[in-house]
Structure formats: C-alpha cells, structure tokens
Amino acid sequence: MMEVSAKAMADRTNVGLAATTMDFPLTLEHLFEHGTRLFGDQQIVTGVGPSRHCYTYADFRQRVRRLADALRTWGVRPGDRVASFAWNTYRLLELYFAVPLVGAVLHTVNFRLFPDQIAYVVNHAEDRLIFVDTSLLPILEPVRHRLSTIEHSVTMENGAIAERREWALDYEELLESGNADRDPFVRVPETAAAALCYTSGTTGNPKGVAYSHRALTLHAFMECMTDTLRVSHRSTVLGLASMFHANGWGLPHSCTLVGAKQVFPGPHPTPSTILQTLVDEKVTTAAGIPTQLTTLLAEIERTGVRPPALQYVFAAGAAVPASLIAAYDRLGIAVVQAWGMTETAPVGTLAWLKPSLEERPIVEQVAKRATVGYAMPGVETRVVGDDGHEVPSDGKTIGELQVRGPWVTGSYFKEPNRTDSFTDDGWLRSGDLAVVDGDGYVNLVDRAKDIIKSGGEWISSVALESALICHPKVFEAAVIGVADPKWSERPLAFAVARPECAGQISEAELRDFLQPQFPKWWLPDHFVFVDAIPKTSVGKFDKKVLRQRVAEGVVTWT
C-alpha cells in the first residue's frame, strides 16, 4: 500500500476540488416533470358529490402546458406577478405551476382580508393579471377599480354559470388558446422568485414574502421524508387550510413531486362535506388548522362516521390542545402538530414522538405531541432570552423562538432593509415566546404581543386556552390581558359553549376546573360567554378585536 505523507495529505486538503456534478438548478419545473411524467394515471379531485371534478396527472400536465403557453402569448414575462383570488381547486393547482414555470411569480391573495388590505397587497405586489373564482367576485368588485396595476382579470367557474363581463377573460377560453405541444416553459435561475404570499396583517399592513424556486423545491423534498409529512405516491392528501395561507403549506409542490393523489375541498367547505370527502376519496393524510379539526371531530361524533383510511392529520396555525390529540387517538388517527410562519414556507417544526419516549406514560407522550416539537431537517431553531443567549433546556425559562434555514426568508418583499424581524447574526425572529425541554421539544408559551404580565410575572394565555378547551362543555376559548389598577394586567377569558351545553356553564365551574392546574394568581378574574370568538383571515383567534371590544365598552363584566 502506498503511503502518503502528512504534508502531502495537508496539501491535498488545502487545494479546493472543483465540483463535478451537473449544473442542475432546483426549480419547480423538475418537480412538475417528475410527478406528471411518472404518475400520469394518478388522480386530482376537487369537491364532493355530484359536482365533484376528477382528472389525472396526465390531464393536469397538458392543461398546465397549455396555460403556460397562453400566459406567454398574453404577455406575461419573467418576474411579473400574477394574482389568484381563489378557493382550493384543481385550477388553482394549475396556476401553482403554470405561472412560475414561465418565470413569473404567483401571488395567492387572501380573500378573507379586509377590502383595504386586499387592495394594498395587490397594488404592493404590482400584480398584472388576476385569476378570480366567480363566487368570490362580490368580494373583489368593491375594490376592483382601486387595483391600479391589474391589466386584466380572468374568471374561473366553480359550479355556477358565468356572467359574461367585458372586463374579464374566461379561464377555459384562455387555456384553450394555448398550445401544449410548444415548449412553453422559461428556464430561470433557482434563486428566482416563484411565489409570493403576504402575512395576515394583524399588526399593520401585511408583509410580502417571496419564495424562490430553490426554497420551494427543498421544502418539497423535506415534506416527503418519513419523519416529516410522509408524503409519497401512496398518499391521498387533503389540504384543508386555504392555499393562500403560507403557500398551501407546501403540499401542492410535495404532492406533485411524488405523484400523490391530491384532493381539494373546493368552494365553501363544511364539516359535513369535509367528512364525506375523507370517506369517499379514502384520504390518508389531511392538514388544517385546529378549528377545522375541532369541528370535524364534532361531525364525526355526531354522525358516527369514521374516515376509513385517514392516518395522519397535520395541524398548525394555533395551539392544538392535548384533549383534541387524545380524542383523535381514540379514533386511530394521529394528530401531529406543526409550527411555521408565512416566512418559513411554512413548515419549521413537527411534534413527532421520538422513539426514546415511546415507553413513557401515555399522558406524557400526548403532552410532548401537544408541543410544536423540534426542527425539521434543513431548519435550525433556537430560543433566546432577553440577554441574547439561548435559554437552558429546562422547560421553564422563556425566550423568543428564532429560526433559520434554506426556505426561511431573509427579508420582506420590497423591504430589503427592514431589520426588526431579523437578528444581527441572520436569524428570523418569530415573535413567539417559547421554552425548550430536556428532550429538545419546543413549547410555545404565547405570542410576544399576547402574553399577560400581571404583577411583574408572566401568564401564558395559550396555556389557559388549552386548558379551558379541555372542559367538556367548552367548544372554544380565548384569553387576553386587560388593564388592572393594582396588577397592571389581569387575564380575561372568553368561552364558547358546545351547542348542547349552551346556557349550562358558569364562571365558577370554569374557575374550579382550572384551579388544580395553575397558580391561583393565573386564574382569570372574569369569564365572558360569547356565541363565537372572532378569527383572523387564517383562522386564528383575533385577540386584537377582543381587546378593541373591551376598550370600546362593547364587552363588559361584573
């Protein structure tokens, strides 16, 4: 055997070797080509019952190519922004690929924003073209003339006869004008933007987050891993969260990559239609916000119908109560809590149970799964205290959750110099307060703007809400801090009773329920019973509205 001297080895180590891999940019075109070429017979389904639409990946491939060619003929150029104002349907999926594959950027507009915010995000993005579901036209009409950069609109049918409008093109007519036999795609660098989403704008104007082809491709690969969302060609996936919410949680891209059967709820989904869809399509994987899981569970309990193939439900957007996880466990369905933001494309953490914890008592296992878990491959997280150092992993010390990774944004669209959301060393500041336990699980304590400081001590509104929802008579609960002359702030709880328990629940009953779980000074001084709790455009409790109602005297207590 030939010996190599230490000096020679060091010389070799110090000489950089040129990479020999192909120049193969990570773009959505490769995801699209892989999935649609290999899994042409796989289905894509929208809706339920008689109006159900079903076609194959082969059909999808041809329609995307035709649409891409039509967009180029119409004049869409690389870098242009194209807006969608749409429900989760197969047509929106076609836009998810046709727009970025001609080098343009798909801006999925949140149609649940206030009218002024809708006008703001469209104008801020400088969208040239907007695709609108016909049933959403009444929402867009009041602000249509304020959309200064829109050159044309395209209407998309979702069950009703279209009203011909002189200012709008018809989606199917536009698509038919394209030629699938031409090569319609535009090759762009992997760093080029492919999609644009805006935050929900709960504090000021929404902020834009542009995702690159590279970020979305890497995120799609991550979601197909066994220890993440487990998306594969054997999966049937139903995304319940609106696709304008944090880029559809990445599922349109990961499902297309591996040829998974994709199921879309279509316009105006209800717990009844969602349950029917889960049953009819034999859905194996669903993803949605906790409110959707709560109402779905109520529908399952009401009807006695259990989705026969459903294995996993991924939940994010708000804290998932341990009681909800346990209720789905009894049905043989695993609820896996995730954490992410618009800024993280969006998945950052998942609460899978580590093998080393599987021998612990069930109550401890469920408690771990009720956290947001730990960072996904490719993502790094840390929890930083006020002193700028990471907090100890003791499950008690509170700090801010910060994150970085290849699909985490480094700046906001048109605001490259904005620094308040980023640390000096390049981490995204989430605004979520959290603790880390000895097993590495991150548990969110509260949003920085929602945590209650009473007598100089912190009270977690999230912890109180999660406990209240465990009460058998409570359907939903939200807790805010209200001014107090002695303690600065005190918690005020809002509760919605389950329909069968309306008028049968008292403050004393809820206080007694909470008392064994928290220090006495944590307990809300008052409980307000309401018919519903206001929610943001992405389904989270809108505590800003609750605070406003208290300040205006709309909400009172004795």
Looking up tokens 């289905």, which residue turns up?
43
pLDDT band at 245 (very low <50, low <70, confident <90, very high): confident
Count of the separate structural domains present in the chain: 1
Looking up tokens 């319609």, which residue turns up?
184
Domain containing 530: what range?
A: 450-551
pLDDT band at 171 (very low <50, low <70, confident <90, very high): very high
State how far the Cα of 551 lies from the Cα of 370, in Å rounded to an integer: 33
Active site residue 352: no
Nearest of 317, 69, 303, 36 to residue 174 by alpha carbon: 69
Catalytic residue (choose from 190, 223, 343, 476): 343
pLDDT at 113 over 70: yes
Q: Rounded to the nearest 10 degrees, what angle do helices 290-303 and 322-330 cross at? A: 40
Q: Rounded to the nearest 10 degrees, what angle do helices 251-258 and 28-38 cross at? A: 50
Active site residue 457: no
521 found inside a domain: yes
502 found inside a domain: yes
Query: Average pLDDT, stretch 322-341?
Result: 96
pTM assigned to the model: 0.85
- Secondary structure, 3-state, 75-124: CCCCCCEEEEECCCCHHHHHHHHHHHHCCCEEEECCCCCCHHHHHHHHHH
Active site residue 270: no
535 found inside a domain: yes
User: How much is the mean pLDDT over the chain?
Assistant: 91
556 found inside a domain: no
The three-class DSSP label of residue 328 is: helix
Q: In sequence order, what are the beta bridge partners of 458?
A: 453
Catalytic residue (choose from 453, 457, 521, 557): 453
544 found inside a domain: yes
Which tens digits make up the pLDDT trace of 390-413? 999 999 999 999 999 999 999 999
489 found inside a domain: yes
467 found inside a domain: yes
Helix/strand/coil percentages in the chain, nearest 5: 35, 25, 40
Nearest of 252, 233, 249 to residue 91 by alpha carbon: 252
Q: φ, ψ for residue 355 (rounded to 5)?
A: -55, -35
Active site residue 226: no
469 found inside a domain: yes
Domain CATH code at residue 533: 3.30.300.30
Task: Look at residue 159 in the predicted model and tell me its pLDDT.
Answer: 47
CA 34 to chain CA centroid, Å, is 25
Catalytic residue (choose from 89, 199, 344, 349): 199
Q: What is the largest CA-CA distance in the chain?
A: 89
Token output for 314: 């991924």
